Structure 1
Amino acid sequence: LDHSIFKGIQKKGYRQPTPIQRKAIPLIVDGKDVVGMSRTGSGKTAAFVIPLLQKLKGREMNGSRALLVAPTREIACQTFKVVKELGRFTGLRCGLLVGGDSIEEQFSVVHQKPDIIIATPGRLLHLLIEMNLKLLTIQYVVFDEADRLFEMGFAEQLHEIIKKLPENRQTLLFSATLPKMLVDFAKAGLTDPVLVRLDVDEKISDKLSMVFVVCRSDDKMAALLNLVRMLVSKHEQTIVFCATMKHVEYVALIMQMARIDCVVLYSQLDATARKMNIEKFRTKKCSVLVVTDVAARGVDIPLLDNAINFHFPCKPKLFVHRVGRVARAGHSGKAFSLIGTDEIPYLADLFLFLGRPIRFADATSVYKEDEPLVGRFPEELIDLETDFLKSIHDNCEDLVSFDFIPSTRLVLLN
């Protein structure tokens, strides 16, 4: 690598390449089209940014030479940040084109001919049409989180973008999965691509301790509250996964009443609130982030200590994707799962998927971090939170809209 790029890598704090970087970077530098598959936390953004910086070398004024397409504003902003950090000593200019920002300012960005454009598909096409732009100078294209680009309905826009690109470009596609629609797109848009796949679905970090706790569905909130109080007291960063937006709002409201500072993330949250909440959690101004799966995907939060499944995922791959956010880059971490009786079949599916036997704890069991046990949440800890939950349900008008959610055993009995 050029010294200017290596200097940026050192400044970022990287010491050795991750497996996806080891495999992808030489192929990309060599000019190959690449389909890269790896899980969250694998270092895939740097896997395509570093070789692009190497190939672009320095600033040119002839036109933009690299285009990075991301499914959401958040992912685009994160990629922009990584490019700026790794390329800080190269002199390369980078432009960000996403929805929610002033379109007039983005006209100005495009006119400055940045070397690298990072964009969401909708805003990019809008600007191409409004400004009658050509993409004839583009040499390198990256489709990041490509499976999500298709899940979000961007297929038509992506095909339109491909049509506007030169045929002699280098194309890179990074994705967690490869659905058929994406395979067809890769066949049409890439030339003899090399597939780089690294244990996308099955691998769980050996630094991750998994804790599985069975409890009544009605006791889940009490169990979560007790668990979060313990983790927050240790100043540990924790992400909580819920099934729906309503559950996220409910859990967050209860935590706020328990004086636990938390922020939320779900799809319908407006862009400004999302950005503020992510930044507050990332800078450790609060210790708990409550999310849905869709909203959390693509949000990069380094060095998480814990993941909690308030609702156990119905698919093993989703479990792996969730807990893949913890125990990254050589750090240890824990994944806690609260399992209602109706979710036990999902637990059985997970252990089959992982090829491990389910071991249920008894009075003589000793928990070992590298040997997952399935236990019950102690009744005395549930009871500690029950009176508090009953009190706020009786006295808080804001909880009326959440009457579809079971709270605690005593509330239901009353």
Structure 2
Amino acid sequence: MPFKKLDAIIKQKLSELEFDAPTPFQIKSIPVIKSGKNLFCTAPTNSGKTTGLILTTMQKLKCKEVGTAPRATVFVENNEKALELYNNFLKFTKSTSLRVYVCDEREHIDLLKSEIFEGVDILITTPKTMNKLLLLEGVNTTQLKIVSFDDAEFLTNKSVIADVLSATQSIHKCQYIIYLEKMNVTIQNLESYFMHYAGNVIVK
């Protein structure tokens, strides 16, 4: 079972939060994500996509802080989703040394920049804010190991796609995971840009 092959700290937290067994989606996706492959993950609402994202991100970073530059980034649609995901991450990471940072768009970009420089492991942001930070040299992408997109239907917006493509050009040799409910042509076409040789996990 995928949960049994996760870091001991993650398994302890799952027990505390009373996650008894992985969902069918997590059973199919977690081993493939752990392999390092780029992946499109398609499954319905309440199938465990966001929890799977959190668990595999923690696993990738070995549940501990390293350096100051982000090693994982999660892109979300808007500020509300960013704050919601941040709170979900904290449920799992608060007993670890992992530093999770959310780019709250209500704050000035210079404040976000200065706080990120203090040290971040997991960065949660919108593509638009990420691009602003990159233009200001406000985030170091050289240490990124995994980039995820939560509820990625927002990637069908042309301006968002432009921001994502601009941001990913600054990222080298990184695993990409896209989580969504239903695949479409626009998102599938991202394989030509940064989702190279991506696999598919589909749960209906």
Partner of 1:25: 30
Matched, 1:121 2:127: yes
Matched, 1:105 2:132: no
Partner of 2:11: 6
Q: Secondary structure at the match of 1:137?
A: coil
1:155-183 alpha-carbon deviations (Å, 9 max, x no partner) = 100100110101x2111011122221111
Offset of residue 136 of structure 1: 1.1
Could you say which structure has the larger radius of gyration? 1
Q: Secondary structure at the match of 1:165?
A: coil
Specify every segment of 5 or more residues in structure 2 that has no aligned partner in the other structure, as ranges: 1-5
- Structure 2 letter corresponding to 1:46: T
Offset of residue 62 of structure 1: 4.5
Deviates more, 1:149-158 or 1:23-32: 149-158
Does the 8 A contact of 1:8 with 1:88 survive in 2? no
Trace 1:322-337 onto structure 2 (pairs within 5 A).
none
Offset of residue 100 of structure 1: 2.0
Offset of residue 132 of structure 1: 5.2
Distance in 2 of aligned mates of 1:102 and 1:7: 37
Partner of 1:191: 196
Distance in 2 of aligned mates of 1:6 and 1:102: 37
- TM-score w.r.t. the length of structure 2 is 0.90
User: Would the alpha carbon gap of residues 152 and 144 (structure 1) be closer, same or farther in structure 2, given more than 3 Å must change?
Assistant: farther
Q: 2:52 aligns with which of 47, 53, 57?
A: 47
Distance in 1 of aligned mates of 2:191 and 2:46: 24
Matched, 1:159 2:161: no
Q: Secondary structure at the match of 1:85?
A: helix
User: Would the alpha carbon gap of residues 105 and 133 (structure 1) be closer, same or farther in structure 2, given more than 3 Å must change?
Assistant: closer
1:187-238 alpha-carbon deviations (Å, 9 max, x no partner) = 3211321211111xxxxxxxxxxxxxxxxxxxxxxxxxxxxxxxxxxxxxxx
1:19-77 alpha-carbon deviations (Å, 9 max, x no partner) = 11111111111212110011111110111210110120111014210010001112211
Partner of 1:87: 93
Distance in 2 of aligned mates of 1:29 and 1:120: 24
Does the 8 A contact of 1:98 with 1:123 survive in 2? no
Q: 2:136 aligns with which of 130, 134, 141?
A: 130
1:261-312 alpha-carbon deviations (Å, 9 max, x no partner) = xxxxxxxxxxxxxxxxxxxxxxxxxxxxxxxxxxxxxxxxxxxxxxxxxxxx
Distance in 2 of aligned mates of 1:20 and 1:98: 30
Does the 8 A contact of 1:70 with 1:149 survive in 2? no
Distance in 2 of aligned mates of 1:59 and 1:134: 15
Distance in 1 of aligned mates of 2:153 and 2:15: 31
Q: Secondary structure at the match of 1:153?
A: helix
Offset of residue 151 of structure 1: 3.2
User: Would the alpha carbon gap of residues 134 and 108 (structure 1) be closer, same or farther in structure 2, given more than 3 Å must change?
Assistant: closer
Does the 8 A contact of 1:136 with 1:165 survive in 2? yes
Distance in 2 of aligned mates of 1:170 and 1:117: 15
Offset of residue 12 of structure 1: 2.5
Distance in 2 of aligned mates of 1:75 and 1:37: 19
Partner of 1:63: 69
Offset of residue 89 of structure 1: 2.2
Specify every segment of 5 or more residues in structure 1 that has no aligned partner in the other structure, as ranges: 200-414
- Structure 1 letter corresponding to 2:197: D
- TM-score w.r.t. the length of structure 1 is 0.46
Offset of residue 113 of structure 1: 2.3
Does the 8 A contact of 2:148 with 2:178 survive in 1? yes
Partner of 1:283: none
Q: Secondary structure at the match of 2:144?
A: coil
